[in-house]
Amino acid sequence: MIVDDLFDLVSYRVHPEPHIKVNRTICERCIHRACTYVCPARCYLWNGEKERIDFAYEPCLECGTCLLICDKGALEWHYPKGGFGVRFRLT
Amino acid sequence: MKTYDVIVVGAGPAGTTAALRMAQKGLKVLLVERGDAPGSKNMFGGMLPNCPIVEELLPGFWDEAPWERHVVKRILTIMSDVSSTQLVFESKNFDNQPYNGYTLFRPVFDKWYAEKACIAGATLLTGCLVEDILYKGNAVSGVRIARDNGDIRAPVVVACDGVLSLLAKKSGLVKEPKPSDMALGIKALFRLPEEEINARFNLVRRQGVTQEFLGCTDGIRGGGFIYTQTETLSVGLVFHLDAIKNSGIAPYDLLERFLSSDPVRRILKGAHLMEYSAHVLPEGGYKMVPRLFTDGMLLAGDAAGLCYTNGLNQEGMNLAITSGYLAAETISDAFQKGDFSSRQLAGYETRLKESFVLKDMKTFEKTVDLMHNERLFSVYPALVGSILEQLYCSDGKPRKKMGRLGWDAIKAALPMKELIADIVKGGRSLI
């Protein structure tokens, strides 16, 4: 599968502080959990055991998809601090 | 406190053009970029369509700019589950300078371009995120950057901070866009030797191709693309955000299917995956373009929603460059009058309306509705494949006349009411 390799080919300078914060209490009201499949960087995963969204900001591509598809307002969304985050080399 | 004549936020094609032009006019310009280098945050298909204004800005622009290939050939591939149909257009005229379009890498191009703005006298600040707008009364009078003593003042600010523009939102010019007015693009970059690319696409020298795909998205409103660079291929998909959200399918899973489809797999044979990227893009067309100015501030490029597709043309970067240029001309006039009020800055919208930027977006205003027709991405691509297959199929049975065959296939594919509605809508948007 090509897809499995995609995510390892992106370079980042990760800031210690997350630039997006997820309010899981609000997520409890969400029935579609679209972020878990629409996010092109797989930042949002549904944890079936703990019944919650697990979020990782490190692989974020800063594309804006989650901000626009979250209809519950569960995200506190910012770009990473200047000079941090994804660093496209050629694309 | 630091002060400038103008602050430009975002060193992409719109911002750098604006900064460069204003620096040429002798203004003290600050160009702020959140990436550690210009272009490092940008996802691009892509092709920069010929944009004559750059030659006015920097004579000899195309001789010096770091582009990859000039596009001489445009391919449209219509895919069904079992077949694909191609429309290939190539022109000798596109092989003469000025070329009709250029493929390029944004981290390379944007960096080169921003250096030109610096040479003209602009100050470039990279790795610097703008966090807020500063006001004097009701007028924008600067920005706050995330540093100690981060307030920077200027009588006018140009917001070129992209499709998710914080400045456009904070100023109240733009509201949170609807997912149906936005698209998600994802892209994989592959390395392939230059000779292989030339052989597979039948190219010589620095000739390049763009290839668009319809019917490759599992019925989700969207499409696929391949762009040729010198020794790389950009391959990806674009979807309407509401459509991908409702589909329940992950974009990278659709990309996997696209990459393994026959027409794409053969082109990519032996190619080496290098990079992956994704970004949203404005796809609401003319109706989504907001008010483009307020007291002390202008919007340009993606921040102004200046991006459109009519099915065959996908334009954005040329609109960004031209809008940045026209913003600079407007601000230059404003300095002569010493007036930065919205009444003075309204000249920017007039200029854009007189240029191809808003004229083209207006021309294809209704195409946005056409692009939201689900059938364009499922029923019609399958129909094209089915008609051509029947036309070519030899199976020992008597043939039908072409008209009859086509008509029967159409009747089997969709109800008459829908067909008529689509013809009317398609006609309105393109004819």
A18-60 confidence digits (pLDDT tens): 999 999 999 999 999 999 999 999 999 999 999 999 999 999 9
Which residues in chain B are closer than 8 Å to A83, comparing Cβ atoms?
34-36, 126-128
Which residues in chain A are closer than 8 Å to B105, comparing Cβ atoms?
90-91
pLDDT band at B427 (very low <50, low <70, confident <90, very high): confident
> Which residues are CB-contacts of B117 (< 8 A; sequence separation ≥ 6)?
B11, B16, B19, B20, B23, B29, B31, B124
Put simply, the answer to whether A90 touches B184 (Cβ < 8 Å) is no
Residue-wise pLDDT for B146-165, tens only, equals: 888 899 999 999 999 999 99
Put simply, the answer to whether A3 touches B248 (Cβ < 8 Å) is no
CA pseudo-torsion sign B108, B110, B112, B114: negative
Give me the residue from A3, A40, A87 closest to B184, CB to CB.
A40
Domain residue limits at A47: 3-87
What is the pLDDT, as a whole number, of residue B295?
A: 98
The answer to whether B89 contacts chain A (CB < 8 Å) is no
The answer to whether B276 contacts chain A (CB < 8 Å) is yes
Put simply, the answer to whether A9 touches B275 (Cβ < 8 Å) is yes
CA distance B51 to B279: 23
DSSP secondary structure, B8-39, as one string: EE--SHHHHHHHHHHHHTT--EEEE-SSSSTT
Give me the residue from B128, B249, B276 closest to A7, CB to CB.
B276
Residue type, B149: N
Average pLDDT of the segment spanning B309-336: 96
- Whether the pLDDT of residue B82 is over 80: the answer is yes
Put simply, the answer to whether B42 touches A88 (Cβ < 8 Å) is yes
90-109 in B: which are within 8 Å (CB) of A? 105-108
pLDDT band at B368 (very low <50, low <70, confident <90, very high): confident
Q: Do the Cβ atoms of B71 and B102 come closer than 8 Å?
A: yes
Query: Which of B110, B131, B184 would best serve as a mutation to test chain A binding (most A beta carbons within 10 A)?
Result: B184
Please check whether the domain covering B179-282 is classified as CATH 3.30.9.90.
yes
Cα of A40 to nearest chain B Cα, Å: 6
What is the pLDDT, as a whole number, of residue B45?
A: 85
Which residues in chain B are closer than 8 Å to A59, comparing Cβ atoms?
none
Give me the residue from A37, A81, A86 closest to B250, CB to CB.
A37
- Whether the pLDDT of residue B1 is over 90: the answer is no
Give me the residue from A2, A65, A91 closest to B187, CB to CB.
A91
Residue-wise pLDDT for B404-422, tens only, equals: 999 999 999 999 999 999 9
111-170 in B: which are within 8 Å (CB) of A? 126-129, 145-146, 163-164, 166
CATH superfamily of B2-68+104-174+290-354: FAD/NAD(P)-binding domain (3.50.50.60)
What is the pLDDT, as a whole number, of residue B39?
A: 96
A85 φ/ψ sector (left φ>0, alpha ψ -120 to 50, else beta): left
What is the pLDDT, as a whole number, of residue B176?
A: 86
**Residue of B409, B350, B421 whose CA lies nearest to B381:** B409
What is the pLDDT, as a whole number, of residue B205?
A: 94
What does the block give as tokens for B31?
A: 């160009």
- Percent of chain B topping pLDDT 70: 100
- Whether the pLDDT of residue A1 is over 80: the answer is no
What is the pLDDT, as a whole number, of residue B369?
A: 86
Q: Do the Cβ atoms of B45 and B236 come closer than 8 Å?
A: yes
- Out of A19-28, B59-68, B313-322, B422-431, which region has the weakest mean confidence (pLDDT)? B422-431
CA distance B333 to B343: 12
Q: Where in chain B is the domain with CATH 3.50.50.60?
A: 2-68+104-174+290-354
CA distance B166 to B277: 21
Per the structure, how many domains does chain A have? 1
Give me the residue from B146, B245, B259 closest to A2, CB to CB.
B259
Q: Where in chain B is the domain with CATH 3.30.9.90?
A: 179-282
Q: Do the Cβ atoms of B24 and B53 come closer than 8 Å?
A: no
- Taking CA–CA distances from B236, the nearest residue in chain A reads A91
Put simply, the answer to whether A3 touches B40 (Cβ < 8 Å) is no
20-39 in B: which are within 8 Å (CB) of A? 34-36, 39
The answer to whether B249 contacts chain A (CB < 8 Å) is yes
- Whether the pLDDT of residue B240 is over 90: the answer is yes
228-247 in B: which are within 8 Å (CB) of A? 232, 234, 241, 244-245
Whole-structure pTM value: 0.96
Average pLDDT, chain B: 95
pLDDT band at B43 (very low <50, low <70, confident <90, very high): very high
Which residues in chain B are closer than 8 Å to A62, comparing Cβ atoms?
41, 279
- Please give the ipTM for the structure prediction: 0.96
pLDDT band at B311 (very low <50, low <70, confident <90, very high): confident
Put simply, the answer to whether B184 touches A65 (Cβ < 8 Å) is yes
CA distance A51 to A5: 28
Give me the residue from A65, A67, A83 closest to B127, CB to CB.
A83
The answer to whether B395 contacts chain A (CB < 8 Å) is no
User: CATH number of the domain that A27 lies in?
Assistant: 3.30.70.20
| Secondary structure string (H, E, C) spanning B247-270 | HCCCHHHHHHHHHCCHHHHHHHCC
First to last CA, chain B: 55
